[in-house]
């Protein structure tokens, strides 16, 4: 059977399934350069238009994972867990969840990413902590897990190198939005670390990567089925992203809100999502933690203490840990309701794009980030808002009438409206 690039591309263009050998040859060519960017772009487009079946998705994921290092952390630290979010505005769940679980004795190892587009990456948020070294290799991750039960950071280049090349090509060939390709990209990196189990937070709504509930459900099922088939048990929860999660969006502001959460002052929606994912992951791993146990880790101060111990172990400045400095950008824009009504809709994706354009995100990899640019969501969907009452605040480095007008246009008051359902379906193949 032909395994030349031309033969593989011809088969997939015709809608035929690729063999395991063909997929492995494709990924080998991705890594050794024998497949050109043009050929890989053609494959990606054919995969989007013709689809990949579940076997092809599994094989692609496995081959991408096998293209680099395999850490196999669960051999060193039994029952180490992991969590992944598809991302959204104000999504700081990982920052809150990790120290809570570690404080309860549940080890967590998490490779993080940087944001591109309308959502911020966890690694970008952690950059606001002076001295924090996010570079992780296997040896360092194992040491951190033994010392504090928590290792969080950006992997060195040896994890799933095939994904780096394919992801960069997907970004410029309009092939990002393919569920099999998304599945393989996420899992090739996640499974390479060798966690004992993973919980996925799959966002839906206007600020989510996958907005429609039906499509988000398909992605969640694909992630759970593929991960499980490749030997790592997984679950997924669909959660709402039709408004900022918590009250703050923007890197310094989100770290500030994280510390509030760990000290018992977190907003209800953010804590509910966090505790739900904690419960799902620990139940999956066979050592379920109750809501009372999780809440006690926060109220007792152990979660905040664990955050501090982890940050110090990864090189954070002790003076900052003792007195965190998280300044906001200086120009404050207060948005007041132009009329009374129910807050019926928030253009959440536009808020994310607006923040990115103001400096809180990057348009291309390598762009500098302004950690002080942020927004505060005062009113929530379904709230009655009297005329003249505060809807939200925006913090910019300097006045910008265009951005300020766009900010005001993102909030819609109507005569009727309702709060969205925060938690959606849960995908569990193990029960």
Q: Which residues are catalytic?
A: 84, 163, 170, 185, 189
The whole-angstrom separation of Cα 198 and Cα 227 is 8
In angstroms, the Cα distances linking 99 to 27, 117, 302, 325, 364 are 36, 28, 9, 20, 31
The whole-angstrom separation of Cα 90 and Cα 207 is 10
Residue 257 per-residue DSSP state: H
The whole-angstrom separation of Cα 193 and Cα 88 is 24
Residue 117 per-residue DSSP state: S
Q: What is the CA radius of gyration of the chain?
A: 22
Residue 212 exposed, middle or buried by CB count within 10 Å (0-12, 13-18, 19+): exposed
Q: Note whether 199 and 234 are within 8 A (CB).
A: yes
Q: Is 32 left (phi over 0), alpha (psi -120 to 50) or beta?
A: alpha
């Amino acid at each position: 059977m032909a395994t030349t690039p031309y033969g593989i591309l011809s088969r997939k263009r015709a809608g035929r399934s690729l063999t395991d050998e063909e997929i492995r040859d494709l990924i080998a060519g991705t890594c050794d350069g024998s497949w050109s960017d043009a050929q890989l772009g053609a494959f990606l487009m054919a995969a989007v238009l013709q689809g990949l079946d579940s076997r092809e998705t599994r094989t692609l994921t496995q081959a991408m994972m096998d293209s680099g290092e395999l850490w196999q952390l669960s051999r060193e630290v039994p029952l180490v867990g992991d969590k992944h979010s598809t991302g959204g505005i104000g999504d700081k769940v990982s920052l809150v969840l990790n120290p809570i679980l570690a404080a309860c004795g549940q080890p967590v190892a998490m490779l993080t990413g940087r944001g591109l587009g309308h959502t911020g990456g966890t690694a970008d948020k952690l950059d606001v902590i002076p001295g924090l070294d996010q570079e992780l290799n296997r040896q360092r991750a194992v040491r951190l897990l033994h010392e504090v039960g928590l290792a969080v950071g950006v992997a060195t280049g040896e994890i799933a190198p095939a994904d780096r090349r394919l992801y960069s090509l997907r970004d410029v060939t309009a092939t990002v939005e393919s569920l099999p390709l998304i599945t393989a990209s996420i899992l090739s990196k996640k499974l390479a670390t060798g966690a004992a189990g993973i919980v996925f937070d799959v966002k839906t709504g206007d600020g989510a990567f996958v907005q429609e509930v039906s499509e988000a459900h398909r992605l969640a099922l694909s992630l759970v089925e593929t991960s499980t088939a490749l030997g790592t048990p997984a679950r997924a929860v669909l959660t709402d992203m039709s408004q900022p999660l918590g009250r703050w969006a923007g890197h310094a502001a989100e770290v500030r809100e994280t510390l509030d959460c760990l000290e018992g002052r977190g907003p209800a929606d953010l804590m509910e999502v966090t505790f739900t994912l904690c419960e799902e992951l620990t139940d999956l791993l066979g050592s379920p933690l109750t809501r009372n146990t999780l809440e006690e880790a926060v109220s007792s101060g152990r979660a905040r203490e664990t955050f501090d111990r982890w940050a110090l172990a990864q090189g954070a400045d002790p003076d900052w840990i003792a007195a965190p400095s998280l300044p906001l950008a200086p120009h404050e824009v207060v948005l007041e309701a132009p009329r009374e009504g129910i807050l019926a809709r928030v253009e959440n994706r536009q808020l994310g794009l607006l923040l990115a354009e103001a400096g809180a995100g990057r348009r291309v990899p390598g762009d500098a980030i302004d950690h002080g640019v942020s927004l505060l969501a005062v009113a929530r969907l379904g709230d009655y808002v009297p005329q003249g009452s505060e809807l939200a605040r925006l913090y910019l480095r300097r006045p910008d009438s265009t951005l300020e007008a766009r900010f005001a246009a993102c909030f819609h008051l109507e005569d009727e409206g309702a709060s969205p359902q925060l938690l959606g379906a849960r995908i569990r193949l193990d029960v």
